[in-house]
Amino acid sequence: MASKKVTLNVEGMSCGHCSGMVQKTLEGIDGISNVFVDLDAKKADFNADTSTHIDKAIEKINDAGYKASNTY
């Protein structure tokens, strides 16, 4: 299955712990790989197998207390 490069805006990250939490959250989702979280830019980049995984990523980041949105 081909994966899609995704960039999410992630509001609410203020320190290394925050970006680490977002990275760990994304890495825990099946179908998501190559996660990179940029604290300064407030973005998370990753590869996702399907759009369902993108929706799941947004949901899980929001559940962790941050506000994620797709940059499309």
pLDDT tens series, the chain, 72 aa: 678 999 999 999 999 999 999 999 999 999 999 999 999 999 999 999 988 889 999 999 999 999 999 987
Give 32-39 contacts, CB < 8 A, sequence gap 24+.
32/57, 33/3, 37/10, 37/13, 39/13, 39/15
Widest Cα–Cα separation across the chain: 35
d(CA 53, CA 47): 10
Is 2 part of any domain? no
The pLDDT assigned to 51 comes to 80
Where helices occur in the chain by DSSP H, the ranges are 16-27, 51-63
Total structural domains within the chain: 1
The pLDDT assigned to 37 comes to 99
- Supply 58's token pair: 């947004």
Read off the CATH number of the domain in which 45 is found.
3.30.70.100
Q: Which domain holds residue 54?
A: 7-70
The pLDDT assigned to 1 comes to 62
Is 24 part of any domain? yes
